[in-house]
Every structure is written in structure tokens, then in C-alpha cells.
Structure 1
Amino acid sequence: MRTVRLAVAVLLCSLLGVAGVATVAGAPPPTQLCGVCGDGLAGERGIDGSTEPGTLDIYVDDAGDSHWQARVPITDSAAERYRTNTSALEAAVDDAWTRYHGAEGDVHSVETALENETVVVNYTVDDVARRGVGETWLVDYFAVGTSNTRYVVAADRVTIHTPEGTAVTNRPSRASVDGNAATWTQGGGFDRQTYVTYGSAGVLGTASGYATIALEVGPTALDHGIRGGVVPGILIGLVGVTIGRSDWGSAAVDAATLERLIVAVGSVGAVGFLVIGAVSTDAGLAPGAVVLASLGVGYALLGCTARRLGSRLETRGLIGLSALATIVAAGTTLLFAGPPVYAFPLCFGLATALCLPIGHASERGRRPVGPIAVAALTPVAAIAAVAPVSVFGYGPTLYGLLLLPWVATVTAFGYPLALLGRRLAIGLD
């Protein structure tokens, strides 16, 4: 019977994994931000005769509309041909437009010109920005909601210029900010939920900018977090209750043995994933491997410090220690991979760490309602942090079901921590 249950569990996890792969495989082609950028000489789509991918500047005006200017360098021979034949230039630009680009369907008033050895394509796009809190404006044109759109920076750089006299008041993901300009470079990525706020410079302007973003994304994040996180949240809550009522194996091992086990597992995971991250990519450590390695660091740290400080701490102290281990894991991610700190590992890492005080409180005859409730809310927080979410267009509920393997991870790694918490509680008696 036990074998049957194990086979069913493995099958379910496999199906969820296949669904996740299918989601990625079924995503549409990347959307280029610049419609005509690309290196035509390298065989890529672009203006015939281009020597470099080019640049894109987006100038936002006082009404929230915008002027887009693409500049693509070309060879001397191509420049001479286009200079003497404007029809050939217009035909080359028309042919260069990629099928999927950032302003698809919203392009107006296209004008093409030749400046020395550079083709300049100007066009307008309406309503890229709107008013936010106070005097703040919000560029939300590149926030795609639950769409599967994936942006790619095909140009050498893409820069959004806010009106003269204003300043960019937030820090868009993967962008460098200089006054009233936010710039993304090729290879640096472009977040599919990009928001740019602008207005008056200074602390008040920055606060208004982030308040504008919060009002924009907050309701959707809360809705998707609740709808997507309810099932995995309930399951993690049940895991916490089960751990609190079960002491299977607690009499067979002592605190020192549990410490060695937890530290060994965490250390092997940390080193192993770092090695995998180093050899799996030529561009530095793979972020996903660094995140998992960071969880190993936090796990090992928690096992080591809990054993040594357990005699001085009550349940509340162990809760604080669990939070500290989670913060260290997040800090390790920032140190080796940089921002962003990934919400899923951080939140589910906290749920795992809280098994330590759950076991401690249960052994002391208390009901660990608080730690269990916080652990159960971690899937809600994880999904809310990356909202809006969608899978095959079915919304956050199906997205939440894809997180069920994380519930199994919390159970597998959390139970040894719960046993350690029980042994520490027995020691206090």
C-alpha cells in the first residue's frame, strides 16, 4: 500500500513537471522592443545593409503619448543606394519590421530618413503613460498582465525618456536610470511587467512613484495570491499540523545527530548547486542554481545555530532564528546572483524553517498556531510577489497547482527540523 501511494505521488509530480515544461514550450516567440532593429548582414531580420542592431529611444510627452526613434547604422554602399533611391529605403524599412514587436498594432505616422550612414525610423505610439498619485505619471505600456508576451532587447540599447523637467522616480528591473532616462541594454533583459514612474525628483517623488505602482499592482497581486495560493497554503498548513502531532523518529535520534544531518544536507546542497551553476553556463553562475544553493546555506546555518543556541531560546527565539536563516539565504542570493530575490524559494524556505519552532512548541505542549499560519500564507505571498500569473490562460488557480512540488519539499526538509525542535524542547525540560 505504501508503494502504491509513493507511485501515485511520483506520477502527480511528474505530471506537474510536464505541465510546467509545456507552458514554457507553448509560449509565443519573443517580442522585440524595436520593430526594425537587427543585424541584416548577420542573417538576422533587420534593415538590409545594417552593420549593428541599432538603438531605440522612446520619448514620452506631457500628455502621456510617445515618439519612438530607431537608429540603425548601415554600410557605405547601402547608404549610397538608399540616398539615390528613396523607394528602396522605404521598402527596406517595411521589410525589416519584425512580426512581434513592442508597439505592434499601435504604430502611427511612420517616417523614414537617412542621416549619413544611419537609417532613422520615427513613429508615434499613443497612451503609453497616465497619471498616478499626485504629480506622478506611470508608464504602464510594457506591463502585459497575464499575457505570455516575452520581451527581448534586440537593439544595442532601449531608452525611455520622460518629459524634460521630470525624473524617473523608481528603479525599473534591469535598467540603469540617469535623470529622466531609463536604459536597457542588449542581453540585460526586459521585464514583462515593466513600470516606469516619473515626476518630481527627491524623496517625495520617489514615494509617490512607488505608491503609484502599489496601487496599480496591489489589487491584482492580492487577488492572484489568494486564488493561486489557497490550495498549496492549505496543504502546507496540514503539513504543519501533522508535524506538530507526529513525533515519529524523535526517540531514535538525538539533537547532535540531527544537527549533523541537517548541516550535511544543507552543505552538500549549497556546494553542489553552486558547482552546477558554474558549469551550466558560460555567463557566470546560473541564477536558479544560486537560489537553491542559498537555501542550502540557510538550512545548514539553521541546523547548526539551533543546536548551539537552543538551550537559551524558547519558541519565539526559534521563530526569530528561522527568519534570520531565511534572510541569510536571500542575502546569499543577492551576493552571488544579484537582484531580484526570487519569491518562491524565499517564501517556501521560510515555511521549511518554521518547522523548527513548530516541533519545539508541540513538544512543549503548546499549539503553534502562529508559525503554522505564517507557513500556510507563504504560497500566497510567493504568488502575489510575481503576479499577475496565468497558465494556458486559466489564471492563478492552475498556476498555484504547479507549486505542489514545493509542498513536498517543505515536508521533506522541514520534518528533520521539527524533530530537532522537539529534541531541544526535551533538553529544556
Structure 2
Amino acid sequence: MRSLPSLAVVARSALALSFVALCCLTAVSLVAAAPPPLSICGVCGPDSIDGATGPGTLDIHVDETGDSRWVAHVPVNDTAAETYRTNTTALEAAVEDGWHRYDVAADDARDITPSVDPESQTVRVNYTVPGVASSAVGDGWVLDYFYAGDTSDRYDLVAERVSIHLPDGYAATNSPSGSAAEDGTLTWTRESAADEFATDEFSSRTYVTYGPAGVAGTLASWGGAAVTFGPLVTSHAVRAGVVPVVVLGFVTVTTRQFGIGRTGRFGARRSISARGHTAIETGCGALGLSLGRRTLSLLAFGAGAVLTVGIWIAFGFPNAVLVGSFVLAAAAFLPLGHALERGDTAAVWAYSALAVLGPLAVATAFAPYGSSLSLLYVGVLLFLPWSLGAGLVGYVLSLIGRRVAAE
């Protein structure tokens, strides 16, 4: 006869199922709450204007004041081209009817002027959009019209090609995702003409920093980006960093209260610290290093730096930031344990601050996080496990640091 599962097993299973259900509900709510994607060039879709034979192109010309002139070209068939050429009213109606409801510039477009080029059989739509770029530092400029990193907005690249033309004499000083830069022009293209919409080619965090050619213009544009996005990134980083900071703060307090001196009677902790001490002593002996707090710091942060660089090379910068900040927070506990055992108050506060504030590095690197719901999602599914793991590893390292100091 099969025995019934114990109450503890049932409780653990229920807890696991509840966590999975919470993750699923959070993901579903994020998708449900997201607004429809905004189209880049609402009149450029293959079915936008009556008679269109394919997707159009969009050229955005930015002037020296930060305003812009947008020019869309949409290919049409012979019949439509002749109709629009001879009937202005029909052309205006076709453009108005074909304009995508969720076009990125639907609320900002001014002076919309359609026309027909009979030679190329294209409908040309001219309009202006003011204030797409701003200057915050010297001659540096930031085109942030498409930046929606603090919202749940996303884009559909409806046009076959979108090009942003900077003012004469200016050059882009960053490399927006998915773009190709040449002679002051940045271009995005759809990977496949068969895709009616392309949501991956144009990021919702797209922005362009630009300035006069030269070091001064580059620095000014970067300074402008810091002024433009700094408050937003800082706000989101602080909000996202609350959970890991609280968790690691709790771990540092626990480390101070429960160290080798108070828990040495427990075999598990004594065994962990002894094995760690033996490994460090062996390594230092092989390298000719003396055991001390500086050596512990060198070993912990040096190994972390090597690991971070390796992750950067193998898996890219975002993963390197995630792993590097984890290592920074956890590694600080090794010399922290040494300082606690020796009673060095200044060092204790310094390493505690490094461990607790380390999570802000990763929180800042991935900020902003879109909507408040997205921020909650990231905090629960990413930063909470991250901080718990860093805290657990850090506590073990603090025991080893205490053991080294006590020998």
C-alpha cells in the first residue's frame, strides 16, 4: 500500500505551484496590459494606401533646431498613380484613410502634404514633426523622440526602410540597435520584405546622440544624454534596487550577529570555514602571498573580474553586468568576515556598503524598466533570486574570512 505524502512535501509542492502560478499571472498581465504597437511610418504599410504595391520608405530629416521633416514614399500601381495625379481630393482621402491609427507621429504630425511622382509611381507624403531632438550640453544633441524605455510602448517597423538624416556637419556618437550609420545618416531596414511587421528591428529604447565632428562634439552629446536620461534611469534603478538592497542588508546584519565566534559549535559552519581556509591558504602559499585582508580582497575581486570579462566575451555585456555585480556583492563578504573577526569598524562599514550597494550597479545597467508592472516583474523574478543567491554565497564567504582572521 502506497503511503500518503508527508505534510511537508505537500506544503513545498503547494509553495512551488503558487510561485509558478504567480509568474504566469504576472507574465499574462504584462502582455494584456501592453498597448498596441506603434507603427514607424503609418502610411508605409503595403495595405495602407489604396493601390499600394508594397511597403514604402521613410526619410526623417532633422534640422539644426531639433525639428524634423518626414518624407514617406509608397509605391502604387498605374491606375492609382493616374487617379491620384488627376484627383487631389482622392489622394488626400487615400492618405487620410491609410494613415495607421497607431502611428508613432499621429498626434505630432504637422503640415501633411501628399503628392504623386508619376515617373516613379509613388505617393509622396511630406509632414513635419517638431522637437524630435534637444540640446542639453553645448553643441551636443539627443534625438529621443522614439525613446519609450519608461513605458510599455513598442514599435512595428512598417516601412521597408527608415533613415534618419542628421544636420550637415553633424555625426552620430552612439550606435542605436539595428541601425547602420553612414555619412550622418542612420538606417533601419526590415530583415525580410515578406514580414508585414517587424517588431525586433526598431527598439523602443532607440535614441541618437549626435554633435559636430570631433572629440568636443562627442563629449557634449554624451553629456546631453546623461542630462536627458539620468533622472529617469536613477529613479528606476533605485526602485528596482530596493529588494536586493534590503535582502543583502539583512544578510550583512546576520553576518555580524552570527559568525564563527557564535556559531562555531555547529559542525556544518565549522566545516565550511575550515575547508575554505585550507583552500585559500594553499592558494596563497602557491602564489607566495601572505594571508591578510588585502590578499582576501585581491583574491575575491580579482577572480570576479576575470569571470566577468570571460562572461562578457562569451555571452555579451548584459550578462557580464549581471554576473559581475553578483560577484561584487558576494565577494565583499570575504574581507568583511575578516574585518568583523578583527574588530576593524571602518573596514566593516566599507565592505558592508560595497556588498549592499553592489546591486545598484545591475539595477542601473538594465534601467529603465518600462511600466510599474514590468518593474515588479523584474524585481520578483530577477532581482529577488539574484539577491538571495548573492546573500547565501556571501554569508559562506564571510565564515571563511572569519576563519582566516582567527587563525
Normalization by structure 1: what TM-score? Answer: 0.71
1:410 maps to 390
Q: CA deviation at 1:329?
A: 4.7
Q: 1:97-133, CA deviations, whole angstroms, 9 ceiling, x for partnerless residues?
A: 2222221310112222333133322211111122221
Secondary structure of the corresponding residue to residue 381 of structure 1:
helix
2:359 maps to 379
Q: 1:10-36, CA deviations, whole angstroms, 9 ceiling, x for partnerless residues?
A: 588557635641234422122222222
1:298 maps to none
2:4 maps to none
Give the stretch that moved more between structures: 194-203 or 85-94: 85-94
Q: Which amino acid aligns with 1:60?
A: V
For residues 178 and 141 of structure 1, do their structure 2 counterparts lie closer, same or farther at Cα, with a shift above 3 Å needed? same
For residues 339 and 256 of structure 1, do their structure 2 counterparts lie closer, same or farther at Cα, with a shift above 3 Å needed? closer
Structure 1: unaligned runs, 5 residues or longer: 41-45, 260-301
For residues 312 and 6 of structure 1, do their structure 2 counterparts lie closer, same or farther at Cα, with a shift above 3 Å needed? farther
Aligned match of 1:234 in 242, 246, 270? Answer: 246
1:128 maps to 132
**Does structure 1 residue 250 correspond to structure 2 residue 269?**
yes
Report if aligned partners of 2:293, 2:338 keep a CA contact under 8 Å in 1. Answer: yes
Give runs of aligned pairs for residues 30-109 of structure 1, distance below 5 A: 30-40=37-47, 46-75=48-77, 79=81, 82=84, 88-109=90-111
| Identity of matched residues, % | 41
Rounded to whole Å, the distance in 2 between the matches of 1:175 and 1:191 is 10
For residues 391 and 398 of structure 1, do their structure 2 counterparts lie closer, same or farther at Cα, with a shift above 3 Å needed? farther
Q: CA deviation at 1:166?
A: 1.9
Q: 1:167-192, CA deviations, whole angstroms, 9 ceiling, x for partnerless residues?
A: 22333344333332223333653343
**Does structure 1 residue 176 correspond to structure 2 residue 180?**
yes
Secondary structure of the corresponding residue to residue 132 of structure 1:
strand
Root-mean-square deviation over aligned CA pairs: 4.1
Q: 1:185-218, CA deviations, whole angstroms, 9 ceiling, x for partnerless residues?
A: 3365334343323221111111111111112222
Rounded to whole Å, the distance in 1 between the matches of 2:323 and 2:11 is 27
2:163 maps to 159
Secondary structure of the corresponding residue to residue 358 of structure 2:
helix
Structure exhibiting the larger radius of gyration computed from Cα positions: 2
Aligned match of 1:212 in 211, 217, 224? Answer: 224
Q: Which amino acid aligns with 1:235?
A: V
Aligned match of 2:35 in 28, 37, 47? Answer: 28
For residues 337 and 256 of structure 1, do their structure 2 counterparts lie closer, same or farther at Cα, with a shift above 3 Å needed? closer
Rounded to whole Å, the distance in 2 between the matches of 1:59 and 1:159 is 8
Report if aligned partners of 1:250, 1:422 keep a CA contact under 8 Å in 2. Answer: no
2:204 maps to 192
For residues 106 and 324 of structure 1, do their structure 2 counterparts lie closer, same or farther at Cα, with a shift above 3 Å needed? farther
Q: 1:235-267, CA deviations, whole angstroms, 9 ceiling, x for partnerless residues?
A: 2122133245345623334537998xxxxxxxx
Rounded to whole Å, the distance in 2 between the matches of 1:377 and 1:314 is 24
For residues 131 and 322 of structure 1, do their structure 2 counterparts lie closer, same or farther at Cα, with a shift above 3 Å needed? same
2:148 maps to 144
Q: CA deviation at 1:89?
A: 4.4
Rounded to whole Å, the distance in 1 between the matches of 2:338 and 2:40 is 53
Rounded to whole Å, the distance in 1 between the matches of 2:330 and 2:229 is 28
Report if aligned partners of 2:140, 2:223 keep a CA contact under 8 Å in 1. Answer: no
Report if aligned partners of 1:258, 1:420 keep a CA contact under 8 Å in 2. Answer: no
Q: CA deviation at 1:77?
A: 6.1
Corresponding pairs, count: 378
Q: Which amino acid aligns with 2:293?
A: T
Rounded to whole Å, the distance in 1 between the matches of 2:214 and 2:122 is 38
Q: CA deviation at 1:65?
A: 1.1
Q: 1:365-399, CA deviations, whole angstroms, 9 ceiling, x for partnerless residues?
A: 65643232122113333333344445447x97897
Rounded to whole Å, the distance in 2 between the matches of 1:336 and 1:77 is 55
Rounded to whole Å, the distance in 2 between the matches of 1:126 and 1:62 is 12
Q: Which amino acid aligns with 1:371?
A: Y
Report if aligned partners of 1:37, 1:70 keep a CA contact under 8 Å in 2. Answer: yes
For residues 20 and 327 of structure 1, do their structure 2 counterparts lie closer, same or farther at Cα, with a shift above 3 Å needed? farther
Secondary structure of the corresponding residue to residue 230 of structure 2:
helix
Rounded to whole Å, the distance in 2 between the matches of 1:223 and 1:60 is 30
Report if aligned partners of 1:195, 1:213 keep a CA contact under 8 Å in 2. Answer: no
Rounded to whole Å, the distance in 2 between the matches of 1:307 and 1:352 is 24
For residues 137 and 246 of structure 1, do their structure 2 counterparts lie closer, same or farther at Cα, with a shift above 3 Å needed? same
**Does structure 1 residue 335 correspond to structure 2 residue 321?**
no
Report if aligned partners of 2:38, 2:153 keep a CA contact under 8 Å in 1. Answer: yes
Structure 2: unaligned runs, 5 residues or longer: 1-6, 192-199, 261-265
For residues 340 and 383 of structure 1, do their structure 2 counterparts lie closer, same or farther at Cα, with a shift above 3 Å needed? closer
Report if aligned partners of 2:289, 2:295 keep a CA contact under 8 Å in 1. Answer: no
Rounded to whole Å, the distance in 2 between the matches of 1:371 and 1:6 is 36
Give runs of aligned pairs for residues 251-400 of structure 1, distance below 5 A: 251-253=270-272, 255=275, 312=290, 314-338=292-316, 343-362=321-340, 368-389=348-369, 391-392=371-372, 400=379
Q: 1:269-327, CA deviations, whole angstroms, 9 ceiling, x for partnerless residues?
A: xxxxxxxxxxxxxxxxxxxxxxxxxxxxxxxxx9x989976965633344344444444
Secondary structure of the corresponding residue to residue 269 of structure 2:
coil
